[in-house]
Each structure stands twice: as C-alpha cells, then as structure tokens.
Structure 1
Amino acid sequence: MSDLEARLGDIVRATPDLMHVMTTVRGLGLSDWRVFSGAVYQAVWNDVSGRPAGYGIKDYDLGYFDPDTSWDAEDVVIKQVAAAFEPPFRDIVEVRNQARVHIWFPDRFGEPYEALPDTDTALSRFVAPAFSVGVRLEADDSISVAAPFGLQDMFDMVLRPNPNRPLARGWDKVVASARARWPELRVEGV
C-alpha cells in the first residue's frame, strides 16, 4: 500500500457519512461494488483544504457489477440499497450496475461507451483522473482502493481531462461546480 493509499484510508475512516455508507453496503453482499467519484475525491479535498468532513458532498455514487443487464435486475438492487438506509442516505446513495452503463450512456451523454468487464474499469473512463478513484470496505475492515491514474491529482486538487478519452461534454460545468465549492482547485491540461 502506498503512502497516499494509506492516507486515503485514514481520510475515509475519518468521514463518518462515507463510512456509514460503506459499512451498510458491505452488508448487502453486492458483487464487485465500489463507492466512487464525489464522495471519495471530495472527502480528500475537504481534508487537504481544512474543510469539515462531509462539506460539499451531494451524493454517494455506488457502482456494482451484475452481468444481468436488465432494468428489472438493477431496479431490485436499487430498492434493496434504498431499504438499507434511513433518510437522508436513502435519497443520496445512487446505485448503478456498471454492466448496464453502455446501454444508457450514449443517449444521456452523447458519447459512445463500450461495455465494461467490471466495476473498476469504469473508473478509467471518468472525466478526470482526480475523479477516477473508488473505495470499498472489505470483510476484514481494510479499505481497498482502485485508482487507474493514481491518487496524486486528487491529493494535489488538480483537475485535468482524462487522457484516455475526448474532453467530456460539460467539462466547463463540471469545473465550475467543483470550483464553486473548492475555489483553490487547479485546472490543467485544457
């Protein structure tokens, strides 16, 4: 485990709402799950910038992988996850089967999207390396980390486009939203 992975684990453990989400989800037995995106990088940005845990976090993105790509199967999991939480978490834990993303992504975002083989591969397609981090609370209480671009951009509060895909539609909106909450972010490579 790298120093940054250990530091990320410490930050996650010090973020009560994120730990609550991961502890609850771990008990559901979902396959190949991760909490990723804003709930992770924003927890780090709060720590790095001295803001309180939970500041600016709007939701908790939860990905899992089930080869059954039917809407009915995903809907069962969405309802299972919702039933496991009390408000406000019931309304802010957003669940998506990563095996289904290629079905709806082109219509929603106007870009092609190849089918994924697992949840961790999804991280390599996020709009920025700083966003491409997922965590999971394992059965032994360790926190596993998936970060195809590493963790440096996230800890440095740097936003740069994912080098493995075209600039995402809505990039400027993503940057503006993040800067509204963390004005010290640096944007590079655009």
Structure 2
Amino acid sequence: MADVYCHDTGGFRLTKHLPNDATSEIPPYAILSHTWGDGEVLFRDLADGTAKNKAGYAKIRFCGDQAERDGLKYFWVDTCCIDKSDAAELQHGLNSMFQWYRAAAKCCVYLAEVSTRKRDADGSSKWDLNLRDFRWFTRGWTLQELIAPAIVEFFSKKGERLGDKKSLEREIHNITGIPPKSPAREPLVRFQRR
C-alpha cells in the first residue's frame, strides 16, 4: 500500500513502507474521496513542510479529524499518499486504487460545494441537496469510490455529515442508475461468484 498518514496528537506524520501485498496486515484506515482542485497537497508538500500553506490541506485535515472521531488511527488521501515523482509507485497506485477503497474501514466523501445548511422560516436548518449538481457525481473515477467501500459517508466542506450511501440511496440511484441491491449498497463479497 502507498504511504498512509497517521493522526498523532493533533498532527499528521507520514507512515512509510506499509505492507504492499494482500497477505500483509494493514491497520484499519479511513480513505478520502474528493474531486481535485487548485492547491492540492502533494506527497512532496508534506515532506518539505509546505502542506499547511495549500488550499487542499483543509480536506486532509478533515479526513484526519474524521478518522480520529471514528476511532481510526490511519487515513489515506490519493493526492498526497502516492509519491507521483516515483513512476513505479504512481503506476502501482493507479492499479491498486479500487482495492485500497475496498479495504478501507470507511470512505469519507468530501463535497466541496456544500458549505452550510439552509435555514427554514421557523429557524430550523436543513440540507438542500441536489447531489446531481455536485462535481463528485460527474467524475468517472468516483464511481469506484462509491462502489468499493462497504461504508461511504458524505460530508460538507465544513465536515458536517450529510448522509451515507444507504440513507441517500434514492438520490444515488437517480444519478447513477445503480439499483439499491448492488455492490454500491452491499459489501462486494456478497456479489462474488461461488
């Protein structure tokens, strides 16, 4: 597996040389699903200490904080857990992405377009979600990030939980056409050939 971050007393540290084969023990970890934007944190940014100066650091901070709330010590983010300057590691990362999402204890989907709840006339708050409009649902590679993990939760850019793939299954079905009893709703092991 590519390099993984460890949440350690409020900070992050890069944990190198985790097991790379399917027979090795890998500790439980959260994984971030997001769309790339300007100022993404790359592997080298963490190595040289400039990560906090980039706009994409907020997503990494969110994933680490959410992993800690969920009792997970490790988390993984594609932008900065793969050293893209190493051609072999990059190729391995691209070829292994589905397996890494499937092996994650939880996938946190970061929807950058959702920032705050709307207020009703009575002062109560609600999410006005039209998932179809979010970039995350327009990108091809995010489909594997929806299907592979057993647990997928959606969050606003402020880290507020919007729902999970079960509670949002009707909206997800309307966008993707994936029926409710599909790999996107069930662990993949239930769909293996026997």
TM-score by length of 1: 0.32
Which of 1 and 2 has greater Rg?
2
More helix per residue: 1 or 2?
A: 1
